[in-house]
Amino acid sequence: MSTIDEIASRHGFSGDAGRAAYSALRAGGFSQAQFSHPELGGMGQWMSGGMMMIGDMFNDGLKWRVGALLAELSQHREPEPAAATQGNFGFVQSGNWWPEGFGSPASSGSQNDMAYAWFPNAAKLLVKLGTDVFAFDTGNLSIYGVQQQQGGGIASVVLNTSNGPMSLLGLNQG
């Protein structure tokens, strides 16, 4: 039994659920995860700062178990097999729209004609609106979430940051 299977078992999950959670953590740089697995409450998101959402939103017991599983798995690192691909269960489009040199984002998402990807190592937040891509400098800011008002364009984007909520337009373009 692998370490991931053992950790999953300790929290009452199958090895399959543990591997799905670990894969989502790996894709999120071990500080966040976006996942979709029936044992984990369906689709969900987790961030190391304490944010936790699962599709089975009224099942608090399951929510705490999933959070504990992800917190423990986020502290565990296994070597990545050479042929492995990092998947995030359909939350990010295939054929990345950001420059290859940025690598994998710590956080990304999309809704309607807007998409975002945050690269803390490069201190950049990229926002794609239609076919246009805008780059913003984030400095040492930590971004915990991105919200968009329907039909409001780039001016309606609000970031949940380590300094509290702020408008995307509060960042310097660059």
Average pLDDT score over residue span 33-52: 86
Do the Cβ atoms of 36 and 58 come closer than 8 Å?
no
pLDDT value of position 91: 36
Q: What is the value of pTM for the model shown? A: 0.50
pLDDT value of position 80: 55
Q: Using the structure block, give the residue that is written with the tokens 């929510």.
A: 63
Do 123 and 159 reside in the same domain of the chain? yes
User: Structural domain tally of the chain?
Assistant: 2
Pick from 19, 123, 55: nearest CA to 8: 19
Q: Report yes or no on 81 lying in a domain.
A: no
Q: What's the rounded Cα separation, in Å, for the pair 19 and 73?
A: 10
Q: Is pLDDT larger for residue 16 or for residue 116?
A: 16
Average pLDDT score over residue span 34-62: 88
Quick one: what percent of the chain has pLDDT higher than 70? 84
Q: Is pLDDT larger for residue 163 or for residue 39?
A: 39
pLDDT value of position 90: 34
Residue 40 CB contacts under 8 Å (≥ 6 apart), including other chains = 13, 17, 20, 21, 54, 66, 69
Q: Is pLDDT larger for residue 54 or for residue 84?
A: 54
Do 66 and 123 reside in the same domain of the chain? no
**Enclosing domain of residue 118:** 101-173
Residue 151 CB contacts under 8 Å (≥ 6 apart), including other chains = none
What are the residue ranges of helices labelled H in the chain?
3-10, 15-27, 60-73
Residue 149 — pLDDT band, cuts 50, 70, 90?
low
Do 7 and 69 reside in the same domain of the chain? yes
Q: Report yes or no on 7 lying in a domain.
A: yes
- Summarize pLDDT for 66-108 with one digit per residue, the tens: 999 999 999 988 765 443 333 333 333 335 788 878 887 877 7
Q: Report yes or no on 36 lying in a domain.
A: yes
DSSP string for residues in 103-152 = -S-SEEEEETTEEEEEETTTTEEEEEETTEEEEEE-TT--EEEEEE-TT-
Mean pLDDT of the chain: 80
